[in-house]
C-alpha cells in the first residue's frame, strides 16, 4: 500500500491569518496520525508565510510516523534539516517568491550541486528525495546524483486527468518504470486529490508515498461542514 503523508502547510496558513495558535498545528499533526496518516510533510518557505522554522523544530515532539521536510536547499534550510534530522528531505527548486512549487529539478544541469547536497544529508542519516518532472532524462540524472527517491511532480497529471486519465498518466508511467529500472524509490505529489488519486496509484508501479496538502485540507473542510453546522444548531437551541 502506498503511504499517505499529509502536508500541513495550509493549517499553518490558517493559523497565521489570525495570529495565536488556532488551529494548533502540533495537535493537528498528532490527530492526523491517529486518524491514519502515515507521515507528516511540511514545506517551509524563506519568508515563513505558513510553516515557520520554529514549527519544524517543534513537530518531532508529536510526529511518530514519517517526517518529511520539503524545500529549496539554501543555507538556512540546510541548517534547519541538519538540526531537526527528519526522516526524509525532499529537495524542491522553488523560487523564494513562488506561491507553490511549479517545476521539478533539472538533475543534469544541477547535477554537481544536487550531489553535494545529497552527500551532506546522507552523512547526517537523512533519506533524500528529488522533486522531478516526469521526464526519463531527469530520472536518469537523479540516479547519477545519488538520491534515494524521486518525487514525481503531478500537476500536469491532475490538470489533464478530467479530459483523459490515460493520456494524463502516460508520461508518469514511463518515468516510474525508469525509476524502478534504476532502483529509485518513487514518491509523488502536487494537486493529487480524492478525484484522481486512485487512478494514479493503481497505474504507477512501486509508488511508495504520496504527499497531499491543499486538496486534502479543502476536501476536509467540505466533508466536515455537514457535521459542524448541526453541532452549532444544537448548541443554539434553548
Q: Which of 66, 70, 151, 209 is catalytic?
A: 70
Phi, psi (5° rounding) for residue 159? -65, -40
Cell representation of residue 104: 521539478
Answer whether 30's CB lies under 8 Å from 62's CB: yes
Q: Which of 43, 50, 66, 151 is catalytic?
A: 43
| Residue 79 burial class via C-beta count within 10 angstroms: exposed 0-12, middle 13-18, buried 19 and up | exposed
Residue 214 known to be catalytic:
no
**What is the distance between the alpha carbons of residues 28 and 210, in angstroms, rounded to a whole number?**
19
Residue 43 known to be catalytic:
yes
Cell representation of residue 118: 545529497
**What is the distance between the alpha carbons of residues 32 and 21, in angstroms, rounded to a whole number?**
17
CA angle in degrees (0–180, nearest 5) for 145-97-15: 105
Cis peptide before 23 (omega within 30 of 0): yes
Phi, psi (5° rounding) for residue 29? -60, -45
Q: Which of 50, 66, 151, 190 is catalytic?
A: 190
Query: Which DSSP symbol is given to 87?
Result: S
Query: Which DSSP symbol is given to 65?
Result: S
3-state secondary structure of 211: strand
Residues carrying an active site annotation: 43, 70, 190
Amino acid at each position: 500500500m502506498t503511504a499517505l503523508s499529509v502536508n500541513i502547510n495550509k493549517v499553518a496558513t490558517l493559523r497565521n491569518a489570525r495570529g495565536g495558535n488556532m488551529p494548533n498545528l502540533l495537535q493537528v499533526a498528532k490527530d492526523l496520525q491517529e486518524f491514519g496518516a502515515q507521515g507528516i510533510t511540511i514545506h517551509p518557505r524563506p519568508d515563513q508565510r505558513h510553516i515557520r522554522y520554529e514549527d519544524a523544530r517543534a513537530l518531532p515532539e508529536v510526529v511518530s510516523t514519517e517526517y518529511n521536510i520539503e524545500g529549496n536547499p539554501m543555507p538556512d534550510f540546510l541548517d534547519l534539516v541538519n538540526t531537526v534530522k527528519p526522516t526524509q528531505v525532499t529537495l524542491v527548486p522553488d523560487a523564494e517568491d513562488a506561491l507553490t512549487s511549479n517545476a521539478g529539478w533539472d538533475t543534469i544541469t544541477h547535477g554537481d550541486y544536487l550531489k553535494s547536497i545529497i552527500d551532506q544529508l546522507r552523512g547526517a542519516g537523512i533519506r533524500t528525495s528529488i522533486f522531478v518532472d516526469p521526464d526519463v532524462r531527469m530520472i536518469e540524472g537523479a540516479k547519477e546524483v545519488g538520491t534515494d527517491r524521486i518525487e514525481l511532480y503531478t500537476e500536469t497529471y491532475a490538470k489533464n486527468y478530467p479530459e483523459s486519465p490515460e493520456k494524463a498518466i502516460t508520461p508518469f508511467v514511463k518515468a516510474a518504470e525508469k525509476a524502478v529500472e534504476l532502483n529509485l524509490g518513487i514518491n509523488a505529489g502536487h494537486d493529487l486529490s480524492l478525484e484522481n488519486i486512485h487512478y494514479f496509484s493503481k497505474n504507477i508501479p512501486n509508488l511508495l508515498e504520496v504527499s497531499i496538502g491543499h486538496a486534502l485540507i479543502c476536501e476536509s473542510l467540505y466533508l466536515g461542514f455537514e457535521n459542524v453546522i448541526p453541532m452549532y444548531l444544537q448548541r443554539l437551541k434553548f
